[in-house]
Amino acid sequence: MKLLARLRQIAMVGGVETFGVAVGGIAGLLIVNVLPKDQYAAYTFLVACITLILGVTDLGLAHCCLPVVGQRTNEIPWVVGACQQVFRKRWLLLGLGLAIVAPYWFITSREHGWGGGGYLLASAFMIVIVLLTLREHFASTVLLILGHISTLNRIGFSSHFVRIAFVGAVLLLPMTSWSVAGIVAATAAASLVSVVLYRNEFRSREIVNSRLEGDDARRVDAQVIQIAKPLVLPAIFYQVQGVITVFLVSMFGTSSMVAEVGAFGRLAMVLIVVDRVTNILLFPVIARAPEGERLRRMLLQGHLVYLFLMALVLLTSIYLPQYWILLLGEKYRSMEPLVWMVFLASILQNASGFAFRTMTVRGVTAGQTYSIPVTLLTQVAYLAIVGVSDLRSVLGFAIATSVANFVYQYSLLILRGRKM
């Protein structure tokens, strides 16, 4: 009976997440197909800026909530208070994220000639999205730990519908210099709807703000520092790595290459389904499980299934690339031979993150700093031998980086897993 209940839960969450990714994918593919390449390049760049700002507010903190809460998941004041204690530090880091990204935004925007009222408005909406997303992350983390999975699914449905409705409305209008601002505004509107729904849900469930004081606050702070300290440098480094291909082509390539990298990123969205299901169902279980043989068996089975599913997706990109290109439109037809490279890089990177999160939910964060020189040496060697001159070489750079991350994270997991 437990197995059937677990399978029903996986099916429900997987179905909702598949729907969410499908809706998000449809919206993204509509944007790819309708927006001219120059405007899509600007949009891709702004999305990379949002990702980088949110990444800097993290610095390992996002991995602290589950291990800090521990097994006290039924104590609502404790869950809320512990999560607030973590997210308060993320808000403090927001200024650092803006200080890092602002010069990058200014220099790159000037270099590619992105400007005007529409682009500046889109950039302003970018800041709004960051502010709303932090609130979303806090609320969803609390509800996830408390086990309100159906609520997260329902709010996710609403958010996806709002975004695709706004995107559709913008794309039905004639394309102008303000179209990118409308697309970014659609994401901001979806985030606003999520925040309002989360707030209503907290009110209906009588989940109120609970600030930790005294010994509890100091104990949580000490645990957060212990978990996050080994992750600070890797977090900074890998936030940059997360947008490294966009960064490379925005600084050294053409606007057309920026658009192509962004368009290819849409294809890899299918991989998000597996990641979201594991985030909601698997990692909270791993975080609470007692050490021993059962935990190690759970980890082994989870990783084998994950890698098998990823391998299936990779096979479709090798043998059926023409069908993936259909999703992007005819203006990207010349990129068909490169589809497998996009999926290979994304699969290896996602698998690295899967191994990384497996360790962090158990509070095992030691050794992550050494992944930086491993990755940097790989990247320097690639740039020295191959260089970055076209889209194929950029994707090769992404694969080389992903291979280094994959090998390091799984080696560390195998080493640390023996002690779990």
CA distance 98 to 78: 31
Angle between helices 293-319 and 391-417 (to 10 degrees): 160
Per-residue pLDDT of the chain in tens (420 residues, 90 and over written 9): 444 555 455 555 555 555 555 666 666 667 777 777 778 888 888 888 888 888 888 777 777 787 787 777 778 888 888 888 888 888 888 888 888 889 889 988 888 888 888 899 999 999 999 999 999 989 988 888 887 877 887 887 788 788 888 888 888 888 888 888 888 888 898 889 999 999 999 888 888 877 877 777 888 888 888 877 776 666 666 666 656 666 666 666 666 666 666 666 666 666 666 666 666 667 777 777 777 778 788 888 888 888 888 888 889 888 888 888 777 766 677 778 888 888 888 888 888 888 888 887 777 777 777 887 888 898 889 888 887 777 788 888 889 988 998 999 898 888 876 666
Q: Which residues contact 68 (CB under 8 A, 6 or more apart)?
A: 82, 85, 86, 220, 223, 224, 227
User: So what's the pLDDT on residue 64?
Assistant: 79
Angle between helices 255-267 and 37-56 (to 10 degrees): 70
Say which DSSP state 4 is in: H
In whole angstroms, what separates CA 58 from the centre of its chain?
Answer: 12
Conformational region of residue 209, where left means phi above 0, alpha means psi within -120 to 50, and beta covers everything else:
beta
CA distance 226 to 365: 9
Of 181, 165, 171, 230, the C-alpha closest to 365 is 230
Instruction: Determine whether 32 is exposed, middle or buried from the number of CB atoms within 10 Å of its CB (0-12, 13-18, 19+).
Output: buried
Measured CA to CA in angstroms, residue 97 lies from 118, 156, 248 at distances of 23, 26, 19
CB 313 within 8 A of CB 343: yes
pTM, to two decimals? 0.65
User: So what's the pLDDT on residue 44?
Assistant: 83
CB 350 within 8 A of CB 210: no
- As a whole number of Å, the CA-based R_g of the chain is 21
